[in-house]
Amino acid sequence: MGKLSFYGQGIPNVKEVDYTGKLIVIEGADCSGRSTQVTLLRQWLEKEGHAVSDAGLRRSNLVGDAIQEAKKGNILGKKTLSLLYATDFADQLENKILPALKAGFIVLSDRYIFTLMARDAVRRASSKWLKKLFGFAPVPDMVFYLQVDPQVLLYRSFETYGTLDYWESGMDICLSGDMFESFQIYQSLLAKQLDIMAKEYDFILLDGHENPEAVQDRIREKILSIK
Amino acid sequence: MKSEDFFAAGYNGRLIVVEGCDGSGKSTQLYLLKCWLEYQNYPVFFTEWNSSKLVRSYTKKAKKENMLTPTTFSLMHSSDFADRYEKMILPHLRAGYIVLADRYTYTAFARDVARECDYEWVRNVYSFAMRPHLTFYFKVPIDVALERITAARNMIKYHEAGMDLELSNDPVESFRLFQGRVKKEYDRMSSKEDFVVMDGTESIEEQQQIMRRIVTNKVLLNFNSNIYEEFLSKVKEISG
């Protein structure tokens, strides 16, 4: 990465040093095939002799559990949820991602601030507020975005879990009393937000309907081009 | 401070805030004010910094284990604030309560900037919060605050002294330096944010008299609590 560049004001007390690692992000909806791609990519990178570290959402030691606990109760304000996720991301960033990048690791991030911004935007947070809030996030070397039709996500969700998830259906924002309908509306709104960001932030688009190996080949091809 | 939500629904309540360094005496004064308002049958709701049921235990653990950076310290406290704001402060204001807040967004503005977070960034984080109707700022010299804290608990807390900033290895010296920065931020906000500046070195009684007078003139004169009084008397009738 070299010197870090940030989307906004950056982080206080981050030393001006060389970050020799690479930050690679994979974005996409739940059931878009993200984790499969991350796993395949990791295997390949390690086989090639790279040290790999991973990151994602809701994995921080600091508030990962708090978010889990809060979501169970279903009584969480929109701003609270967004700030808790921001806290979670900041903690992983400073305690895990940056140290790994400094040590020369390739960090694979299973989702990044874009998913958080998309979710909040659907919940009516202003884009100005969100951009400023996440101004402490470094610009990754590459952002892949797995695009999948909401109708296909619906099938996959049923195949995988047998049921729809409360939060993945956006039930907290009362789009529809019917969970099935809510899922369809919510996922389309999310996809729309990510599509807008794709242009603004230069995402590399991947067709999530293709078979996983074909998708993986395309990711590797892109990564080889930056090495 | 702007807030889209602020204009959306009827806000009949009033928001009164106390701010100041640790040891400035603000909590004592707010407590006395609360007693006085309750005695007169005003609908009162009290809330304090860092007390959300959801977030607080995690903050406590994180502080103990020294896991926080300036950024996560700030975001953790904003999560705590947002949870109280969305669940309690805002609904009470809408319902017509006088909300008494022991510390509000200004605490974050002062402390987080003292921890070198970006000035505009912190303000943006809290921009969803409505502006108080009245803010009292309790000003005391750092040495007075220090004396009060050490007299009360014989030790200074790690984060209170800003030890995480490594300004000095000596807690007392670190407290002076860090709270000096916090105080500078408060002073800077004082006129811009219309703080009522209180001399925290005056006697407790003297300060409380001033506070009550200002609250009467600025808040109570055009505040109608008739329905609440009626409601209270009904409650008493039933339970009595």
pLDDT digits (tens, 9 = 90+) for B116-158: 999 999 999 999 999 999 999 999 999 999 999 888 887 899 9
Q: Are strands A204-207 and B14-20 parallel, antiparallel or unpaired?
A: unpaired
To the question of pTM greater than 0.90 for the whole model, the response is yes
- Site from B3, B83, B116 to mutate, A interface, most A CB atoms within 10 angstroms: B83
> In A25-149, which residue ranges form alpha helices assigned H by DSSP?
34-47, 64-73, 78-92, 98-102, 113-122, 127-133
DSSP character at residue A149: -
- Give yes or no for a contact between A148 and A33, defined as CB atoms under 8 angstroms apart: yes
ipTM: 0.90
The topology under which CATH files domain A22-226 is Rossmann fold (3.40.50)
Tell me which of A138 and A70 has the higher pLDDT: A138
pLDDT digits (tens, 9 = 90+) for B74-125: 999 999 999 999 999 999 999 999 999 999 999 999 999 999 999 999 999 9
Q: How far is A60 from chain B (nearest CA, A)?
A: 11
Please name the helix (run of DSSP H) or strand (run of DSSP E) that holds residue A21, with its range, or none: none
The residues near A132 (Cβ < 8 Å, ≥ 6 apart) are A8, B120, B121, B124
Determine whether the interchain pair B121/A62 forms a contact, defined as Cβ–Cβ distance below 8 Å: no
How far lies B191's CA from each of A122, B137, B186, in Å? 38, 11, 10
Determine whether the interchain pair B121/A76 forms a contact, defined as Cβ–Cβ distance below 8 Å: no
Which residues in chain A are closer than 8 Å to B55, comparing Cβ atoms?
63, 66, 84
B73 touches chain A (CB under 8 A): no
The residues near A174 (Cβ < 8 Å, ≥ 6 apart) are none
Please name the helix (run of DSSP H) or strand (run of DSSP E) that holds residue B5, with its range, or none: none
pLDDT given for residue A74 in this prediction: 61
Three-state secondary-structure class, residue A157? helix
Which residues in chain A are closer than 8 Å to B54, comparing Cβ atoms?
66, 69-70, 76, 80
Which residues in chain B are closer than 8 Å to A86, comparing Cβ atoms?
75
Q: Are strands A22-28 and A142-147 parallel, antiparallel or unpaired?
A: parallel
Query: Closest Cα to residue A197, out of A112, A77, A109?
Result: A112
pLDDT given for residue B2 in this prediction: 45
Q: Read off the tokens for A58.
A: 């809701």
Q: For chain B, which domains are there? A: 10-218 (3.40.50.300)
Instruction: For residue B10, name the pLDDT band (cuts at 50, 70, 90).
Output: low
How far lies B82's CA from each of A22, A79, A127, A198, B28, in Å? 34, 6, 18, 30, 25
Instruction: For residue B1, name the pLDDT band (cuts at 50, 70, 90).
Output: very low
pLDDT given for residue B6 in this prediction: 44
CA–CA dist A120, A81 (Å, integer): 9
What DSSP string describes B74-139?
A: HHHHHHHHHHHIIIIIHHHHHHT-EEEEES-HHHHHHHHHHTT--HHHHHHHTTTSPPPSEEEEEE
B50 touches chain A (CB under 8 A): no
